């Protein structure tokens, strides 16, 4: 294991991830209008670990542990305020419990045998009981700790899909926004070396008010070519738009743009993602964009009930993809050999009505194509006919 000299936060100190926007019933609970968020602290070194999140008004350079919600907070009556106490086995029978609100340091369930992985000081426990009763809270002298040894490596950073080194510290399901100020204690790689303590204020507005991104891409014609491209459009102001290529071990910055609409061209085959940077640690990443030659490998569950359509069909090469689902929808157009002709997304998170996206395959030969439309974990296949 590589040991860090000093543990430290990454340049992007935190992220807020919208896990699910709820519409309708989940189990026996109506969560319409609620969103489930997960909050992560990012570390510079993967071997470092977060040992505590806390509030201590007596210490220098710290702030009270304060969590405020602008709307109701969802708490399941059988849930817990620590993530490692969540009973994942109950999700099949009580699906709404998966969206309970809790704090954590790394662990989000006790499926590893119920071992103690995080605990709260007595001074914090009393206050956290208020949180479990749907209330905002302040901890002026207390902490949530994690054990961190070979059996409980919970506070150690895990690599995200985008290569970020991050530690999960909370999940909240609410019908509004939240603001969370806290202090973080970090040690280098369980060595007991020099620690750091950082204060952070985190807001869900970084996600809920982040710029909306749409994109369309043409994959490379072969694995050796550099003729792939991505056209993007950001609907709101962003400080900068960055294009990263995802490798097996990290993410590499390929290009940047300061305009709301632009093309990234002459890209080699590979996996990419677009990052919208609004400043002040508020960054939002797109899903992975597959620019490899050939088909896109995605688990498929056929679903004809998804509210999407392509017209006119048959057509001469210019089509409209209409999306009425409230979601960030991804699509690909493939030929019958499984080669991807074009791929992109349609952002309809606001759900204010049907959103249309033009599909242009006019330069391709007449014949049959397959449009695959991905909505969350579901997919709809639409057979498309091109005939001049």
pLDDT, position 7: 58
Q: What is the pLDDT of residues 126-153, one digit of tens each?
A: 777 778 776 778 887 778 877 666 666 6
Answer yes or no: are the C-beta atoms of 346 and 371 closer than 8 Å: no
Indicate the SS3 state at residue 148.
coil
Nearest residue to 139 (alpha-carbon basis) of 129, 147, 148: 129
User: Is the pLDDT score of 114 beyond 60?
Assistant: no
Q: CA 51, CA 93: separation in Å to the nearest integer?
A: 33
Q: What is the pLDDT of residues 228-267, one digit of tens each?
A: 999 998 876 667 888 999 876 667 889 998 877 889 999 9
Please, what is the Cα angle at 116 between 77 and 158, to 5 degrees? Answer: 95
Neighbouring C-alpha atoms within 13 Å toward the C-beta of 361: 31
pLDDT, position 300: 46
Nearest residue to 283 (alpha-carbon basis) of 206, 178, 168, 203: 206
Lowest mean pLDDT among 2-16, 179-193, 220-234: 2-16
Instruction: Return all residues near 377 (Cβ < 8 A) that are at least 6 apart.
Output: 301
User: Is the pLDDT score of 226 beyond 70?
Assistant: yes
CATH number for the domain whose boundaries are 213-386: 2.60.40.3080
Indicate the SS3 state at residue 275.
strand
Please, what is the Cα angle at 183 between 179 and 189, to 5 degrees? Answer: 125
What is the location of CATH 2.60.40.3080 in the chain? 213-386
The answer to whether the predicted template modeling score (pTM) of the entire model surpasses 0.85 is no
Q: Which range in 82-86, 195-199, 376-380 is most confidently predicted, on average pLDDT? A: 195-199
Q: CA 213, CA 352: separation in Å to the nearest integer?
A: 16
Please state the rounded mean pLDDT for residues 175-190. Answer: 85
Please, what is the Cα angle at 298 between 295 and 304, to 5 degrees? Answer: 105
Q: What is the pLDDT of residues 343-355, one digit of tens each?
A: 999 888 777 778 8
């Amino acid at each position: 294991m590589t040991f860090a000299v000093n543990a430290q936060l990454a340049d992007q100190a935190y992220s807020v991830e919208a896990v699910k926007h709820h519409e309708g019933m989940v189990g026996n609970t109506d969560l319409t209008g609620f969103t489930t968020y997960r909050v992560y602290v990012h570390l510079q070194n993967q071997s470092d670990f977060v040992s505590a999140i806390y509030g201590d008004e007596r210490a220098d350079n710290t702030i009270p542990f304060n969590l405020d919600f602008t709307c109701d907070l969802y708490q399941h009556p059988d849930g817990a305020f620590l993530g490692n106490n969540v009973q994942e086995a109950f999700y099949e029978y009580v699906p709404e419990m998966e969206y309970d609100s809790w704090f954590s340091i790394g662990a989000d369930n006790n499926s590893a045998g119920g071992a103690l992985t995080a605990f709260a000081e007595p001074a914090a426990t009393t206050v956290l009981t208020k949180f479990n009763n749907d209330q905002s809270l302040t901890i002026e002298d207390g902490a949530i700790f994690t054990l961190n040894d070979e059996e409980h490596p919970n506070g150690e950073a895990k690599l995200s899909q985008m290569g970020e080194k991050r530690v999960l510290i909370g999940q909240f399901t609410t019908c509004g926004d939240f603001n969370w100020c806290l202090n973080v204690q970090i040690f280098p790689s369980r060595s007991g070396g020099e620690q750091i303590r950082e204060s952070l204020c985190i807001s869900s507005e970084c996600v809920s008010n982040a710029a909306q991104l749409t994109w369309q891409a043409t994959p490379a014609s072969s694995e050796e070519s550099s003729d792939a491209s991505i056209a993007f459009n950001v609907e709101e102001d962003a400080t900068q738009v960055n294009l990263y290529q995802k490798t097996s071990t990290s993410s590499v910055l390929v290009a940047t743009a300061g305009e709301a609409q632009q093309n990234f061209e002459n890209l080699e085959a590979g996996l990419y993602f677009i990052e919208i940077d609004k400043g002040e640690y508020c960054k939002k990443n797109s899903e992975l964009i597959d620019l490899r030659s050939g088909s896109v490998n995605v688990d498929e569950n056929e679903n004809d009930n998804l509210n999407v359509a392509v017209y006119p069909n048959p057509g001469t090469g210019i089509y409209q993809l209409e999306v009425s689902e409230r979601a960030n929808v991804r699509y690909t157009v493939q030929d019958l050999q499984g080669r991807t002709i074009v791929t992109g997304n349609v952002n309809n998170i606001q759900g204010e009505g049907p959103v249309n996206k033009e599909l242009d395959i006019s330069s391709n030969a007449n014949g049959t194509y397959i449009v695959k439309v991905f909505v969350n974990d579901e997919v709809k296949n639409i057979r498309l006919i091109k005939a001049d």
